[in-house]
């Protein structure tokens, strides 16, 4: 006769309960997570005698119908996954289908639930895993689960429970740490009928976090966000510290986890700012694609395995490090005000579309030895730009910042123009227009330039010689890999010609033969504009600035360079008034 026996379900549930439910706080965690998965916005947690006597969680979530209510207390009964594919893309807190089975096998358990206001709800009473009663009962939509006398049928386990105040502290910690990640849910915790916490729904996450971490972090929380959006949250300034890591909460896709490695990453980020043995406070949120994190690592589901844990580690560490470096520097602007400015008032023009051109102006930008054709202000219809009537030329020029940005003012505030980006846009539009009109102005080189190319580039340039000539480059083969350049576009008159041709040929070789002509010309024009444009860190005279502004007015789209970056930004007067507390 075989010695090995399959255990009855009641015993296996009790064994499972040993893993999942260690103490009243673990039951609270599972039941609150179920309420969150059921999309509740209001969760009441009532406990008596530290949860040893009673735990009751009531929620206003979706609730269950009678059939589901009977099923949900079965082991491996879950509505959250269906197949093993789902198991690797879990977006709920629960998924193992064992919490209710476990809890109800080691307590006196009552479930009241309803998912339909027009029907009665269901009440199920269970003791030690055995269903005692199932009946219809009047109930609002939502679920209420009462767990009495936890471990009453496992004396060995009950005896390990600690004092009322210790167990209550664990429950407080559980509820508050979950609440830190769910500001849009109202959590209320009561002990022996007395309300200990009542966190109202808030759209201000900082408010929720401050009420959980304590008033010492008021005005001391720094928002962090990694470039890859993997990590976000709030960390305490190095002025506020603790002697333990208990003020650190890490959520992965909404799930609170205990992960020493990620905690270490955070602390490493503070390396330059904290003394040894001190810990920061933090609420971190990691959003990881669901298939990049395995949550089925531990029955309590408070550990996860990352597909790429080094990436998460580095992302936390570097984001914290960089944020604190900025924070620790003396700053002249109040960061909140400048982020206000960023979100609300820095504006740049979107494409100008209805600007009509009647005339193509070939005025050269700064070359004194080229002929300047006077700009004709009446030749364009202008669209509203910075304010009702303004155009670039009407701005009052204040000067240059770092020889890179042109500072201007108008009635609305300060306008900063990126001189390179702006000139690049001007040249781009001019090249395009003159190519269209087959009117590229050229200049003959006194001394032709010779260039030598690699074998790949030789094929490209040989094929492109006629197109280059349309762009104003007169190039001839000189035998082998050598070519001579006899003339260049006038707009590139004072520029070094070799790097421009090298880059054009290289870029086109990258696209590969056979060539798409319009794509090729576009690429060439973009490169010519970039090379031809005045650079950053180049001092400009007042006249040159004025000329640039006039030429910007001529552009169809003066607000973006050929790479799509803005050519100008505006800092509104309102921003300054707010920053100087002239207005609130």
Q: Which of the listed partners (Mg ion, ligand ADP, none) does 280 bind, with a CB threshold of 5 to 8 Å by partner kind?
A: none
Core vs surface per residue 205-243: b (16+ CB within 10 A) or e: bbebbbbbbeeebeebbbebebeeebbbbbbbbbebbbe
Please report whether residue 80 would count as binding ligand ADP according to CB under 6 A. Answer: yes
**Piece of the chain touching ligand ADP by CB under 6 A; list 33-41, 237-245, 261-269, 442-450:** 33-41
Instruction: Give me the sign of the Cα torsion angle 494, 499, 505, 509.
Output: negative
- Compute how many residues bind ligand ADP; rule: CB under 6 A: 23
Q: Which of 13, 78, 226, 319 binds ligand ADP (CB under 6 A)?
A: 78
Q: Which of the listed partners (ligand ADP, Mg ion, none) does 51 bind, with a CB threshold of 5 to 8 Å by partner kind?
A: none
Q: Which of 16, 20, 27, 34 binds Mg ion (CB under 5 A)?
A: 34
**Piece of the chain touching ligand ADP by CB under 6 A; list 94-102, 361-369, 427-435, 486-494:** 94-102
Q: Which of the listed partners (Mg ion, ligand ADP, none) does 80 bind, with a CB threshold of 5 to 8 Å by partner kind?
A: ligand ADP
| Residue position matching structure tokens 């609270």 | 28
From residue 557, give the alpha-carbon distance in Å to each of 355, 377, 381, 565, 578.
9, 17, 13, 12, 31
Q: Which of the listed partners (ligand ADP, Mg ion, none) does 59 bind, with a CB threshold of 5 to 8 Å by partner kind?
A: ligand ADP
Please report whether residue 256 would count as binding Mg ion according to CB under 5 A. Answer: no
Taking the least distance from each CB to ligand ADP, the nearer of 118 and 358 is 118
| Stretch 51-70 residues interacting with ligand ADP (CB under 6 A) | 59, 61-64
The DSSP code for 7 is P
Mask of contacts with ligand ADP, 133-152, x by CB under 6 A?
----------x---------
Task: Say if strands 186-191 and 194-199 run parallel, antiparallel, or are unpaired.
Answer: antiparallel
The DSSP code for 560 is B
| Stretch 82-141 residues interacting with Mg ion (CB under 5 A) | 94, 99
Q: Which of the listed partners (Mg ion, ligand ADP, none) does 62 bind, with a CB threshold of 5 to 8 Å by partner kind?
A: ligand ADP
CB of 162 to ligand ADP, least distance (A): 25
Which strand (E) or helix (H) includes residue 504?
helix 497-511
CB of 96 to ligand ADP, least distance (A): 5
Supply φ then ψ for residue 124, to 5 degrees.
-130, 130
The pair of three-digit structure tokens given for residue 344, joined into one six-digit string: 């609300």
- Compute how many residues bind Mg ion; rule: CB under 5 A: 3
**Piece of the chain touching ligand ADP by CB under 6 A; list 73-81, 203-211, 255-263, 356-364:** 73-81
Distance CA 52, CA 171 (A): 11
- Other CB atoms within 10 Å distance of the CB of residue 513: 11
Distance CA 72, CA 74 (A): 5
**112 burial via Cβ count (<10 Å: 0-12, 13-18, 19+):** buried
Mask of contacts with ligand ADP, 103-122, x by CB under 6 A?
--------------------
Please report whether residue 395 would count as binding ligand ADP according to CB under 6 A. Answer: no
Q: In the Cβ-directed half-sphere of 405, how many Cα atoms lie within 13 Å?
A: 14
Taking the least distance from each CB to ligand ADP, the nearer of 101 and 250 is 101
Core vs surface per residue 539-565: b (16+ CB within 10 A) or e: ebeeebbbbbbbbbbbbebbbbbbeee
What residue ranges bind Mg ion (CB under 5 A)? 34, 94, 99
What residue ranges bind ligand ADP (CB under 6 A)? 30, 34-35, 38, 59, 61-64, 72, 77-80, 94-101, 143
């Amino acid at each position: 006769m075989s010695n090995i026996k399959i255990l009855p379900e009641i015993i296996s549930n009790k064994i499972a309960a040993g893993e999942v439910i260690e103490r009243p706080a673990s039951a609270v965690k599972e039941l609150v997570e179920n309420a969150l998965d059921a999309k509740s916005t209001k969760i009441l947690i009532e406990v008596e005698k530290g949860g040893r006597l009673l735990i009751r969680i009531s929620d206003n979530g979706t609730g269950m119908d009678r059939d589901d209510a009977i099923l949900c207390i079965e082991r491996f009964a879950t509505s959250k996954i269906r197949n093993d594919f789902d198991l690797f893309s879990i977006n709920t807190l629960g998924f193992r289908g064992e919490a209710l089975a476990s809890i109800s096998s080691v307590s006196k358990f009552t479930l009241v639930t309803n998912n339909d206001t027009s029907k009665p709800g269901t009440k199920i009473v269970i003791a030690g895993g055995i269903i005692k009663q199932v009946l219809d009962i009047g109930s609002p939509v939502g679920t209420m689960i009462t767990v009495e006398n936890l471990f009453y049928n496992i004396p060995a386990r009950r005896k390990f429970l600690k004092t009322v105040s210790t167990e209550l502290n664990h429950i407080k910690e559980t509820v508050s740490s979950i609440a830190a990640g769910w500001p849009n849910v109202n959590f209320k915790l009561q002990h022996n009928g007395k309300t200990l916490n009542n966190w109202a729904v808030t759209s201000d996450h900082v408010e929720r976090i401050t009420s959980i971490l304590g008033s010492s972090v008021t005005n001391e929380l720094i928002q962090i966000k990694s470039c890859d959006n993997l990590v976000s949250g709030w960390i305490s300034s190095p002025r506020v510290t603790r002697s333990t890591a208990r003020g650190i909460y890490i959520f992965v896709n909404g799930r609170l986890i205990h992960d020493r490695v990620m905690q270490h990453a955070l602390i490493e980020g503070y390396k330059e700012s904290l003394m040894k043995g001190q810990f920061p406070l933090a609420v971190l949120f990691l959003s990881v694609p669901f298939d990049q994190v395995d949550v089925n690592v531990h029955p309590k589901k408070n550990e996860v395995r990352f597909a790429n844990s080094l990436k998460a580690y580095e992302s936390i560490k570097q984001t914290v490090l960089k944020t604190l470096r900025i924070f620790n520097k003396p700053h002249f602007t109040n960061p909140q005000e400048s982020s206000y400015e960023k979100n609300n008032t820095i504006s740049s023009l979107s494409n100008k579309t209805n600007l009509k051109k009647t005339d193509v102006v070939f005025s050269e930008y700064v070359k004194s030895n080229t002929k300047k054709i006077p700009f004709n202000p009446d030749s364009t219809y202008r669209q509203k730009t910075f304010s009702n009537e303004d155009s670039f030329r009407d701005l009052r020029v204040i000067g240059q910042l770092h020889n890179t940005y042109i500072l201007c003012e108008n009635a609305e505030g300060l306008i900063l123009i990126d001189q390179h980006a702006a000139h690049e846009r001007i040249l781009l539009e001019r090249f395009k227009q003159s190519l269209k009109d087959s009117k590229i102005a050229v200049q003959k080189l006194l001394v032709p330039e010779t260039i030598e190319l690699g074998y790949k580039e030789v094929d490209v340039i040989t094929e492109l010689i006629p197109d280059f000539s349309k762009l104003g480059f007169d190039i001839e083969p000189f035998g082998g890999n050598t070519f001579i350049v006899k003339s260049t576009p006038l707009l590139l008159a004072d520029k070094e010609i070799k790097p421009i041709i090298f880059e054009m040929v290289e870029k086109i070789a990258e696209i590969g033969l056979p060539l798409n002509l319009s794509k090729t010309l576009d690429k060439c024009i973009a490169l010519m504009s970039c090379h031809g444009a005045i650079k950053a860190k180049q001092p400009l005279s007042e006249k040159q600035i004025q000329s640039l502004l006039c030429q910007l007015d001529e552009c169809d789209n003066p607000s973006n360079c050929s790479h799509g970056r803005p050519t100008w930004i505006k800092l509104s007067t309102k921003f300054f008034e707010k920053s100087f507390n002239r207005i609130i």
